[in-house]
Amino acid sequence: MDTNIKGEFIFLAKPLALLTVIVVLIVSTLVFGLNQFTNIKSKIDTNKVVENTLKQKVVTLESVNELLSSDVTFLDIVLPGKGAVLYGLSQVKNQALSYNVIISSLKTGISTLESDEIYKTTISFEAESDEQSIYNFLESFSTTLPLMNVDKVSLNKSGDVARANISLSVYSSQMPTKIPAIAEAVKDFTQEEISLLQTISKYSLPSFVEPSRVQAETIKENPFE
């Protein structure tokens, strides 16, 4: 009797072991599949959030183009990271030409930290014209880029000719060393910010001189010929 039971147990053990293995495999596959499904769904949800953020960012940035009639590249000149003094000198010469003012003894100082990563560089010079033209000339720097400010003016008159010693400040700022992540949300511009952008977009820009490109047909294959 015991021998028969043992034999039956052995006979049943193999199918039971096989069934157990099959069940374990099925359960493992289901668990793995469920985890994969959960991970994929999580990635899809995350991608949807990023996509919506990017769409909103595009809408916000496109609204700037609609609000500003001019090229928004003027923003690079408001507080330039490089070339602020050259831009400032360009504006001094441009405005002097516009208001018939003769300038001389142009000098530039050393850039100093003003506040909150804003730097200031002094430009000093002498100006000569009639008194009203000099006043108009000085007033013009309130609407020029980069941002400039008249610090000191010493005016002397001799008949119809006025001579002034003038000191201006031109402002600059270092470019950010870290930019926001591309998927980071952008806040909508406030009405005050939009109004400020529209105002600055009308400021006069400095003169730019771009080097001419070399035409392809003028380049020799052998430069030593």
pLDDT for the residue numbered 194: 75
51 and 21 in a common domain: yes
193 and 101 in a common domain: yes
Max Cα–Cα distance, the chain, nearest Å: 140
What gap in Å lies between CA 51 and CA 48, rounded to an integer?
Answer: 5
Taking the whole predicted model, whether its pTM rises above 0.75 is answered as no
212 located within any domain: no
112 and 27 in a common domain: no
| Residue 149: both structure tokens together | 């400010």
Tens-digit pLDDT profile for the chain (225 aa)?
455 555 555 655 666 667 676 777 777 777 777 777 777 777 776 667 666 666 676 666 666 666 555 555 677 788 888 888 999 999 999 999 999 999 999 999 888 888 778 899 999 999 999 999 999 999 999 999 999 999 999 999 998 899 999 999 999 987 666 666 666 666 666 778 778 877 888 888 887 644 334 343 444 444 444
pLDDT for the residue numbered 217: 40
127 located within any domain: yes
Question: Do 175 and 81 contact (CB within 8 A), yes or no?
Answer: yes
Question: Do 123 and 107 contact (CB within 8 A), yes or no?
Answer: yes
Beta partners for residue 122, in sequence order: 169
Print the SS3 string covering the chain.
CHHHHHHHHHHHHHHHHHHHHHHHHHHHHHHHHHHHHHHHHHHHHHHHHHHHHHHHHHHHHHHHHHHCCCCHHHHHHHCCCCCHHHHHHHHHHHHHHHCCCEEEEEEECCCEEEECCEEEEEEEEEEEECHHHHHHHHHHHHHECCCEEEEEEEEEEECCEEEEEEEEEEEEECCCCCCCCCCCCCCCCCHHHHHHHHHHCCCECCCCCCCCCCCHHHCCCCCCC
163 and 98 in a common domain: yes
Number of domains in the chain: 2
44 and 103 in a common domain: no
| Domain with 110 in it | 73-175+189-200
91 and 194 in a common domain: yes
157 located within any domain: yes
